[in-house]
Chains A and B, each alone.
Chain A
Amino acid sequence: MISAVDLSFRYAGHKGWALKDVCLEVAPGECVILAGPSGGGKSTLAKCLSGLVPHFEKGVRAGRVLHNGVDLAELAMPRIALGVGAVFQNPRSQFFTTRVEDEVAFGCENAGLPRERMLRRIHRALERFNIAHLRQRTIFDLSAGERQKTILAAVYAMGPEVWILDEPSANLDPASMEDLRICLESLKREGKTLIIAEHRCHYLRGLADRVMVLAEGRIVEVQGGAGFFSQGNAQMSRRGLRWTRLPQGFTPPPAKRRQERLASRGLRFRYPGEGHDALQGADLSAGAGEIIALTGANGAGKTTLAMLLCGLFKERGGRVAIDGLARKAKERVRLCRLVLQEADHQLFTESAYKELRLGLADRGRDCGRGMELLEAIGLGEKAHCRPQSLSGGEKQRLAVAAALAAQPAILILDEPTSGLDAANMRRMGELLKQAAGRGGAVLVATHDAEFIQTCCTKTMHMEKGGVLNGQATGSQI
């Protein structure tokens, strides 16, 4: 059993408590979801339960976390790792080696297991998560879903009873999410204790025994899994949480006749050194005021299409027209703006205001537009803060606002809601609606069905490097 008794934690250099007087008990074999808004304390609680607080994170800790009656603060981290396994949000930055088999072996090697026993465990873990065929592959060639399974296998090989997972679905497409669910189900059947911090919990329906909602560092609500998932989406929205059931299809708003701003015909693109085209004749069209969701599995070509449309990649064949004129890649870079998935890649200056000034079409003359945009995204008071010190949601909004400052004809976003809570996701939707309202066309590559329903006017589904005609179905989203 794992439990927390009057647990509080304050990060070094921070004024407020990230966790305050948290008490919980999780029985062996139980599956508990930690839900709630960003900054509520989910990840901090996950770190406390996995022993990283106090062994890795610096700060002030009060209270205790007990695993089988022993306080984790009194055990060394290598010892804790054998009983409590931790899986974090981004599998890519959790790999310490470069080959799947080595990665799965990593924890066992640290524990000093004899080679024969280690080989048996590795074999079992790879078979358990159906990745035995990836054994010799380098981690850089894996899909997001395969990476997630590799990290699960690596933790499984160490044999912990308790699993702490922090937003394991953040980078996954719907099919990989379903795979993750199957993996978690099988772990639960084996009697493992699962504690999952997650915004998007819809895929955990039927798996969770209890849901704990955290806000401002405290557990504000505990519900049974069945009760939590029986609530409607409207009720979840009112409570500031992500939907618990995905819409079965996409209901677009009434169609209007719109002036075409972006059109691509027969776009083809091949990455250097690859033997086949990543894009195989992608056609699409976007009108003024439209927000189009580009859906499809990881690897379907969504990001490649986004890069190509905004001119970062040069097409091998086909054409892209903006406002009726065929445009070369160089011209498209000027006319379009792309917001990448990771906000930190696109924040360059020392204040939020300067970030927007850098984005303005005419950098010399601001005329108050920078501040106006900052106010519009709710960051007026943080105009002079370092962009890097903002929260994840704020950074993402700032990156979008910096792109909008240039008043682009076409705005393209790559997975803008990955890791965002309900409130930040809705704010992002509002921002895109404003951008589209000014007559621009907005294209969003996303897996987030809730976000699509919140703000998109149309969906297009991609498969194997091509855009399929018509609306994406519920399962495709």
Chain B
Amino acid sequence: MIRGFLCGLDERVKVWMAVSVSAAAIYCVDPYLQAGALAVCLCLCLVCGAKRFVAGFLAVLLVMAAISLILCQVSPAKSGFTGLGVFYILVKFGPMFAMMVFIQASLNTSRFLRSLEVMRVPPQWVIPLGACLRFMPSVAAECRQIRHAMRIRGIAPTPGRLLRQPLETLSYTMVPLLVRSLFIGDELARAAVARGIEAPGPKSSLHEIGLRPSDLIVAAVWSLGLAAMLIADHLIFAASAGGQP
């Protein structure tokens, strides 16, 4: 039920949630507030069914925490540059990654594009954005195939190979990826043109476009929550700096 509610939210609200929390988490200094934002974002991912991402992310986080704890014991001077540093980056940028997964799992591309059109965003922006959103899952699938092909030819981009032959390995990865991306982009554009995407007049929509009261409430609660987080961060920072914000 919660999943249905989240996925049914207006696409603009979802995008606002993703952009605002990512920016706020990066802006915040207090690690507890950042961790709180991350926890909320991971919960949203869980509700949308991205269990594997959440499990993987938490596993990496735990490993990094363990490494930094060990380093603190063994060599306190170096711990800040290694395990702890990566752990901190993950917590700070984690909400951004998590919300990308949330958007991927819950965004209805068609409804989003129509919403933008209703907001009078120029078609020169809307069409490429639509192509990009549609293109991303295809690129992920292409990358998987290219990785298979590289492994079987013995040129997989392993850390060792990247260190020994960085340019060669990068070129082996990028050449097929670029060729396939161009090909898919061309096919996608051709199919869209053949189905009238360039029509100049107003377009209609299968979906009801417009903000409902539930969308407005969610957007307001979310924005207030983030505002509270930023104020709290400011106060904590001010207190730690001896009352000088």
Interface, chain A (partner B; CB < 8 A):
50-52, 55-56, 76-78, 81-82, 85-86, 88, 90, 92-99, 101-102, 105-115, 118-119, 122, 140, 154-155, 158, 272-273, 307, 310, 312, 333-334, 336-338, 340, 342, 344-349, 358-359, 388, 402, 406
Contact = CB atoms under 8 A, between A and B. Distances in A.
Contacts of A96: 130-131, 134, 188, 191-192, 195, 197
Contacts, number: 161
Contact of B188 (A94, A102, A118, A122): A94
B75 interface: no
Nearest to B137: A140
B89 interface: no
B109 interface: yes
B3 to A, nearest CB: 13
B120 interface: no
Given A85-B194, A112-B204, A310-B152, 7 more contacts: A50-B194, A78-B196, A95-B134, A96-B191, A106-B110, A345-B176, A348-B176
Interface in B19-43: none
B183 A110 contact: no
Contact of A93 (B52, B138, B176, B179): B138
Interface residues of B, number: 50
Contacts of A98: 108-110, 134, 137
A168 to B, nearest CB: 13
A101 B108 CA distance: 11
Contacts of B78: none
A102 B108 contact: yes
Interface string B130-141: 110010011000
A119 B208 CA distance: 12
B180 A345 contact: yes
A312 B180 CA distance: 21
Given A98-B134, A114-B204, A348-B172, A78 B152 contact: no
Nearest to B173: A348
Interface string B154-180: 110000000000000001100110011
Contacts of B197: 78, 96, 110
A347 B109 CA distance: 33
B213 interface: no
B152 A333 contact: yes
Contacts of A81: 194-196
Contacts of B196: 77-78, 81-82, 107, 110-111, 158
Nearest to B201: A112
Nearest to A405: B153
Given A94-B187, A97-B109, A337-B152, A77 B130 contact: no
B201 A56 contact: no
9 contacts: A52-B194, A81-B195, A93-B184, A96-B188, A101-B206, A110-B195, A111-B199, A310-B152, A348-B176
Contact of B180 (A78, A82, A95, A344): A344
A22 B222 CA distance: 63
A52 B130 CA distance: 21
Given A97-B134, A112-B204, A340 B188 contact: no
Contacts of A348: 150, 153, 155, 171-172, 175-176
Given A98-B137, A115-B206, A359 B153 contact: yes
Given A78-B198, A96-B197, A88 B176 contact: no
Interface in B191-224: 191-206
B contact patch SS? helix
B146 interface: yes
B130 to A, nearest CB: 7
Contacts of A388: 175, 179
A154 B155 CA distance: 41
A312 B194 contact: no
Given A102-B108, A112-B201, A348-B175, A119 B191 contact: no
A128 B188 CA distance: 25
B82 interface: no
B204 A118 contact: yes
B206 A102 contact: yes
B203 A112 contact: yes
Contacts of A119: 206
B128 to A, nearest CB: 12
Which 5 residue pairs across A and B have the least CB separation, nearest first?
A94-B191, A78-B199, A78-B196, A102-B110, A110-B196
A345 B149 contact: yes
B231 to A, nearest CB: 38
Nearest to B145: A345
Contacts of A110: 195-197, 199, 203
A77 B179 CA distance: 27
B195 A155 contact: yes
B110 A93 contact: no
Query: Which residue, of B131, B151, B196, B201, has the highest number of chain A Cβ atoms within 10 A?
Result: B196
A4 to B, nearest CB: 18
A105 B203 contact: no
B153 to A, nearest CB: 6
A105 B110 CA distance: 9
Given A96-B134, A115-B206, A119-B206, A346 B193 contact: no
Given A77-B198, A110-B197, A346 B191 contact: no
